[in-house]
Each structure stands twice: as structure tokens, then as C-alpha cells.
Structure 1
Amino acid sequence: MTRPHGYARYRLDGCRCYTCGWAVAQYNDAREHAMRRGTWQPYVDAEPVRVHVRNLQDCGMGLRTVAARAGVDRQRLQAVLNGRPERGTPPQQQVRPALAAAVLAVEPALDNLAPNTPISPLGTRRRAHALVAVGWPQHHLAVHLGMSPSNFGTMLKREHVLVRRALAVRAMYNALWRADPAEHGASLGGMARARAYAADRGWAPPGAWDDDTIDDPDAWPDWTGQCGTVEGFWAHRYITAPACQPCRDAFNADGRKRSAQSPKKAG
């Protein structure tokens, strides 16, 4: 593989073109300024990098995938993890700051995991429930995924779901949450039954979820735009939806506050 022109190609490949020479001059200038300021840090501790890579591996990411996402050579990560046994060298104790920053920025996101990695079903379940809440019959969703209705229902009850299935449900959710089920073959009766089924179980529609929090186990759906407040509690009544836990908590806390502030009757 041919390295792009720059500092590495100058040092490792001996290229002396203008671009490579300029990169080296810039690097040297920055280094000299940092040394004069006392901020020069050519290496950092490799242990945080090593721990992070092993955590990513525990989440189902292979070393090749980690290296690709970080934009570093896989052999460099192997040297950090295990050293170079063929040379009798132990794991690296220090790494360049740029390598550390690149690796530590890699997260075990869904797209980075192996297809058959088991993960929490929470986000998958919330997305499926949200689609039912806006009128998508479950058997239509099952067909969309190439599943039987019974397998679809079983998937939503399991303690884990495979990454490939979670990705498929996420793609389905992104494609259907604003679509009209009737335009995709759902009957009016089927849509009404789906909405009633979801309402009976308190399933939140897509509008109550934020894309950044729908997978967060600590997140709650915001049904009213004011959830978590007393106003949100009464807004639930207005839309005839059961109050969510944050709204109930806010209402109860407000009641206790009012009770504590009210003057006590003389005995």
C-alpha cells in the first residue's frame, strides 16, 4: 500500500518531494514551539488504549474492525496488546498521542459490531412498539423483515437480539415511521387494532422518542413535549394517554411540596 505524501512517507519511505518536505518542516516547527512552552508530549501511556481495545473486543468488535475504524494499522494495535512475540518484545508501554486519540474515539456502536453479536433488545423493541402505536399491524412488520408473525413476536420478548436483526429493525423504523400503513396494504381495521393494542400496553409512538435516546435504557419517551413536569402530567390527561413515570414523579413531588408549604390548622 502506497502511503499518502506527508510526514510518514518522508520518514519511512524516503520521499523528498515538496509535500513531504513541507510536512516535516511543519512538524519540526510545531515540536520546537511545544518544547519551548514545555508542552511537548511525544508519547502517552498505552494502558488506556489497551484497556479500551479489550473492552471493544468484549463487545464483539474484532481487532481488524477496531483498526479500520480508528484508521491505524492492525499490527500496531497487536503490538500494543501483545507485543511482538516473534521478536520477543513485550506489549508497548507508550504510544503516540494521535494513535491513542484515534483508538479511544472508537465506540462499540451497532454498525461496528459483528452481525451475530447478541445485544440488548431495548432499542429494537421500542422501535417496533412505536410503529405499532401509529397503526402498523405486527404481521406487516414481520413480513417487512422476512419473518413470520410468531417469530417477530418472540424476538421482541427475548433477552437479547442479534446485531443483524437490530440493524434490520432500525432500517425498517427509519423507512416506515412517517409512512401511512394504509398505503402499504394495511386495512383500516388492522390499523385501528394495532393502535388500540399499543395504547393498552402504553407503547410510545415515534414522536415521543428522540433518535439519540431511543436506545438509552435511562431514557423515557416524551409524549407531550413537557414530560417530567407537572404541565406534562396534565398534558397526558388532555391527550388521553396514561401519564409516564417522569410526569407522575413530577406531579407527586409538586403535591408534597404544596402540602409542606400549606399552613397547618391549629389543633
Structure 2
Amino acid sequence: MSARPHGYARYRLDGCRCYTCAWARSRYDENRAKAIIAGTWQPWVDAEPVRAHLRSLQACGMGLRAIAAAAGVGRSRLQAVLTGRPERGTGPQKQVRPALAAAVLAVDPTLDNLAPSTLINPAGTRRRAHALVAVGWPQQNLATALNMQPGNFGDMLARPHVLAGRARQMRELYAERWNADPAAHGATPAGITRARRHAAAKGWAPPGAWDEDTIDDPAAFPEWTGVCGTPQGRSVHRRIGIPECQPCRDARTAARRPKEAA
């Protein structure tokens, strides 16, 4: 018995002739006839954009099985688009169904889709670790939570890439602890104080300076004051005792230019 749900696909592929499948077939035929009359019937589209997108996803570290799962299609269908079906002696498909094209083109190489061993930009992982230290989490405590040695934890934050699997772990740890009390998780008062001082000396931004839609963006800057990037940002930095950030320095420089030109 097929595990496919009752509908048009089961009617065509499995030969089911129950009421539900037969009704789905009649609806398909009716809609097809209307589209042909209206001149909008388009059963196939060019496969090349789909093939190019599949290769781009693979270059980002996604396997074909992961892409198929994310798109909700069979792996063999994607293999046919890429290389064809050798057992049938056919080359790569030249055309695909619009629904398959739309499903594949909608897949993005997000952190959740990547294989654990894929190397990615470390910006988000590093910022989350720095933010946790800024609110009092000792690095040794964070390393233990990630099943890492403290030395390896520090090395990870200094590398130009990080494993996607490790980045997911850090994201989950950050979600659990950004507003939690380090003391409740075994951190000592002295360790908490040292962590905060270390982060302040390094200029590491706390969780409140980041939004979830910017923390992973390598080009983004932390929002320290609520008015960073404006002429008012510098004075707020001074008032709260935080080193001036680059957007505020740029805003201060831009504000001076009209006066210097005059």
C-alpha cells in the first residue's frame, strides 16, 4: 500500500481509484482545460535555473538529501535535474514542473539546513559568545556547556570559520542563557566579575546591543545606545561609559564636514 496521501499524485502514480483520488483527477483535468483555453497552461519550465540553484546550495555545504528534504521533493528528482538518470541513459533534464522549480528555488542555505561539518562565517557565533561573557558568563562555563575544553573554546572564537554544527550549539546556548543568572549555573561571583571586566576591556557588546536579525550579519554593528549612528550617539556612549562604536564615529565625522568646508 502506498504511503502517498490520496489525491491526484496517488491516482496517477499508484492507480488508486477511490472517490478522493478520482475527484482530484477530475479537478486537475478541469483546471487544465480552463488554462489551455485561457492560454495560461504551462506544464513545464526551463530546468537550468533550478540546476544552477542546486549547485549553489551544494557549494554552500548542503547535500542533495538535505536540499530534497528542505524542498519537500524526492532526492531522485533532483538528481535527474543535475545529472539525469544513468540507468535510463538520459542526460540532465531540460525542463521541470513549475511546482518543483518553485520548491527548489525557495530553499536557502540557512544554518539549520547546513551539514554540521560545513564551515561558515563565525560572526554570529563569536558575537553570541562575547555577549554572554559581557553579562557575566565565564568562558570556562560556556566551554563546559558546549562539551569543549576552555582552550579549544578560545581558539574557536579566533578562527576565520566555525562549524555549522557548533554554530547551532552556540545559538541554542545563547537563547537559553542571554537573560539567565550565571550564578545559577555554577559561575562564582569572582568569575562573573572577571568575565564582565574582560568583556568591557575588549569592547564586547552585550545581548541588548544585538537583534536576532543583525547578530549573524558580518556587516552589522552592535546598537549600544539606541541612537548609534547619529550625532547623539557619542554623548550617550560617554554617559553610560561605553567606548564609541564605529557608526557613532562615522556620524561624528560626517557632522564635522560641513563646518570644515565652511
Q: Does 1:194 align with 2:195?
A: yes
Aligned to 2:207: 206
Q: Does 1:229 find its partner at 2:239? A: no
Paired position in structure 2 for 1:145: 146
| CA 259–139 in structure 1, closer or farther in 2 if over 3 Å, else same | same
- In structure 2, distance between residues paired with 1:222 and 1:134: 16
One-letter identity of the residue aligned with 1:115: P
The answer for the alignment partner of 2:97 in structure 1 is: 96
Cα shift at 1:133: 0.7
Aligned to 2:159: 158
- Give the secondary-structure state (helix, strand or coil) at the position aligned to 1:210: coil
Deviation at 1:256, TM superposition (A): 1.6
Distance 2:251 2:125 in 1: 28
Give distance in 2, aligned partners of 1:54 and 1:62: 10
Residue 3 of structure 1 is matched in structure 2 by 4
CA RMSD of aligned residues (A): 1.6
Q: Which residue of structure 1 aligns with residue 220 of structure 2?
A: 219
**Amino-acid identity (%):** 67
**Gaps in structure 2 of 5+ consecutive residues:** none
Q: 1:36 to 1:246 in 2, by over 3 A?
A: farther
User: Structure 1 CA distance, aligned partners of 2:17 and 2:236?
Assistant: 70
1:195-241 Cα distance to aligned partner (Å, 9 max, x none): 11111111111111111221111111111222222223322222211
Q: Distance in 2 between matches of 1:233 and 1:244?
A: 8
User: Partners in 2 of 1:84 and 1:54 — Cα distance?
Assistant: 17
Match of 1:176 in 2: 177
What letter corresponds to residue 126 of structure 2 in structure 1? R
Shift of 1:258: 4.7
Q: Which amino acid aligns with 2:43?
A: P
After TM superposition, which residue ranges in structure 1, 4 or more long, deviate above 6 angstroms?
A: none
Mapped partners of 2:259, 2:44: distance in 1: 59
Secondary structure in structure 1 of the residue aligned to 2:132? helix
The residue type paired with residue 53 of structure 1 is L
Q: CA deviation at 1:35?
A: 3.0
**Number of the residue aligned with 2:60:** 59
Aligned partners of 1:243, 1:210: CA distance in 2, in Å? 19
Cα distance change of structure 1 residues 35 and 235 upon mapping to structure 2, 3 Å threshold: farther
CA offset at residue 67 of structure 1?
0.8
C-alpha separation between the residues in 2 aligned to 1:241 and 1:49? 49
- Counterpart code for 1:41: Q
Asked if residue 255 in structure 1 is aligned to residue 256 in structure 2, the reply is yes
Could you tell me the TM-score, scaled by structure 2's length? 0.93
**Does the C-alpha gap of structure 1 residues 36 and 238 become closer, same or farther in structure 2, counting only changes over 3 Å?**
farther
Q: What does the per-residue CA deviation read over 1:162-209, in whole Å, with 9 as the maximum and x for residues that have no partner?
A: 122112111111111110112222222221221111111111111111
Distance in 2, matches of 1:10 and 1:146, equals 51
2:186 is matched with 185
Q: Could you say which residue in structure 2 is the equivalent of 1:124?
A: 125
- Give the drift of 1:59: 1.7
Distance 2:32 2:161 in 1: 50
Deviations 1:65-122 (A, max 9, x none): 1111111111111110001112111110111111011111111112212222222211
* 1:86 pairs with 2:87: yes
Query: Counterpart in 2 of 1:40?
Result: 41
TM-score, normalised on structure 1? 0.92
Aligned residues: 261
In structure 2, the CA distance between the partners of 1:25 and 1:147, relative to structure 1 (3 Å rule), is same
**CA apart distance, 1:259:** 4.6
Looking at structure 2, the residues matched to 227 and 49 of structure 1 have their Cα atoms a distance apart, in angstroms, of: 42
The alpha carbon displacement at 1:135 in A equals: 0.8
Q: Distance in 1 between matches of 2:22 and 2:102?
A: 25
What is the CA–CA distance in structure 1 between the aligned matches of 2:215 and 2:162, rounded to whole Å? 16
